[in-house]
Amino acid sequence: MAETRNAVELRNVVKRFGEFTAVQRMNLTVPDNSFVTFLGPSGCGKTTTLRMIAGLTDITDGDLLIRDKRVNALPIHKRNLGLVFQSYALFPHKTIFDNIAFGLKYRKIPRSMIGEKVKRALDLVQLPNVGDRYPNQLSGGQQQRIALARAIVIEPDVLLLDEPLSALDANLREEMRVELKRIQRELGIATVFVTHDQSEALAMSDKLVVMNNGMIEQEGAPEDVYNNPVSAFVADFLGHSNIIAGELDGPDQEYMPVHLSSGETLLTTRQQAGRVARVEGSKSVRAVIRAEKIDLSTENIPQDGMVALPGRIKTVDYLGQTARYFVTVNGRDWQVINPINAHPHAEGADVFMNIAARNCVILPGHAD
């Protein structure tokens, strides 16, 4: 039992709605005890994938395994899953107690134990005294906690959550996010979480799965995906990036120059450059520089492995602890997000954009 098993495994899973392919040959594993997040733009197939795992939508092609058993044809009520919807989906005609007890009743748990388990679930979501209320007597956040309690009380093999926080307001969301993660850790339950909020995804996941057009663009630890996007889509979707075409040039050494199409030259690392199979001589690539990885300074302090591009601040958006700048360099606008110490830089100011070589991510160039 030492090796980690997979709670869920998708093998070449395809979902078609008529002519339209919503999910294309997806391969994915959800390891035991892990928190896996599907992140992607609207319509990319997150919900569809989740519903296939749940058994609410049938699979057109491929295999779905839960705890190493193929369950393609197993009806939903025989899969042991906890499901939480964006809309809570509590039974309005049943008390909170009966809502939570619902799944236990169908698992033939003796009456005496049901009370005990429900109480423990209510304690876990920190709402111990609401058992005899009805769902409409609770706030949205409380209802979502109850929905979570109802899903986990049955001790499911996998917990599936479809944008469970997006109906809540910003503060509550933050609080629930922490809560959800705490509960997930405490129970050690494999969880699939769907969101299109990137900060949620980055904060919560053990494994982040970025989806686009029914396919997985990239998966991995959040930090990895964030720092080393494998495609322009991921780079752009996670945070704000400056993506500029250029030519990788020069001999194989620690820092290598990238000549941008707009005329400037940046440095990148050998490791970054190595991700693009190099043909001899130069190679057309795209350089990706995250907006928050550019340091603005008023003076040019030369450093090893760092390039300073002079530019002029075009606009400043004050965001509280950070500010977003558009900096014009040779006629091109770069997006820069920097923390504010004391005062943000002023509009129209001349600044240097300091870009470290390790923050210059290299992607293969486009045909166009």
Ligand X SMILES: Nc1ncnc2c1ncn2[C@@H]1O[C@H](COP(=O)(O)OP(=O)(O)OP(=O)(O)O)[C@@H](O)[C@H]1O
Q: Out of 4, 27, 87, 166, point to the residue binding other proteins (CB under 8 A).
A: 87
Cα 274 to Cα 257: distance, rounded to the nearest angstrom: 13
Q: Out of 47, 269, 354, 359, point to the residue binding Mg ion (CB under 5 A).
A: 47
231 binds, among ligand X, Mg ion, other proteins, none (CB under 5 to 8 A by kind): none
205 binds Mg ion (CB under 5 A): no
Question: What's the closest the beta carbon of residue 162 comes to ligand X, in angstroms?
Answer: 7
Which span sits near other proteins by CB under 8 A: 78-86, 226-234, 301-309, 356-364? 78-86
83 binds, among Mg ion, other proteins, ligand X, none (CB under 5 to 8 A by kind): other proteins
Residue 151 or residue 161: which is nearer to Mg ion going by CB? 161
User: Residue 232: how many CB atoms within 10 A of its CB?
Assistant: 16
Q: Out of 138, 154, 235, 289, point to the residue binding other proteins (CB under 8 A).
A: 154
Residue 75 or residue 110: which is nearer to other proteins going by CB? 75
Which span sits near other proteins by CB under 8 A: 113-121, 146-154, 247-255, 356-364? 146-154
Q: Which of residues 254-283 bind ligand X (CB under 6 A)?
A: none
Site map (CB under 6 A) of ligand X, residues 184-223, x = contact: ------------x---------------------------
Q: Which of residues 38-77 bind ligand X (CB under 6 A)?
A: 40, 42-48
85 binds other proteins (CB under 8 A): yes
Evaluated on CA atoms 237, 240, 245, 247, the torsion sign reads negative
Considering just the CA atoms, what is the radius of gyration of the chain in Å?
A: 25
177 binds other proteins (CB under 8 A): no
Q: Out of 70, 107, 182, 312, point to the residue binding other proteins (CB under 8 A).
A: 107
Which span sits near Mg ion by CB under 5 A: 44-52, 128-136, 139-147, 338-346? 44-52
Question: What's the closest the beta carbon of residue 40 comes to Mg ion, in angstroms?
Answer: 9
Residue 55 or residue 141: which is nearer to other proteins going by CB? 55
Secondary structure of the chain in HEC code, one letter for each residue: CCCCCEEEEEEEEEEEECCEEEEEEEEEEEECCCEEEEECCCCCCHHHHHHHHHCCCCCCEEEEEECCEECCCCCHHHCCEEEECCCCCCCCCCCHHHHHHHHHHCCCCCHHHHHHHHHHHHHHCCCCCCCCCCHHHCCHHHHHHHHHHHHHCCCCCEEEEECCCCCCCHHHHHHHHHHHHHHHHHHCCEEEEEECCHHHHHHHCCEEEEEECCEEEEEECHHHHHHCCCCHHHHHHCCCEEEEEEEECCCCCCEEEEEECCCCEEEEEHHHHCCCCCCCCCEEEEEEEEHHHEEEECCCCCCCCEEEEEEEEEEEEECCCEEEEEEEECCEEEEEEEECCCCCCCCCCEEEEEEEHHHCEEEECCCC
Q: Report the interface residues with ligand X, using CB under 6 A.
A: 17, 20, 22, 40, 42-48, 196
Q: Report the interface residues with other proteins, using CB under 8 A.
A: 54, 56, 75-77, 79, 81-83, 85, 87, 89-93, 102-103, 106-107, 150-151, 154
Q: Report the interface residues with Mg ion, using CB under 5 A.
A: 47
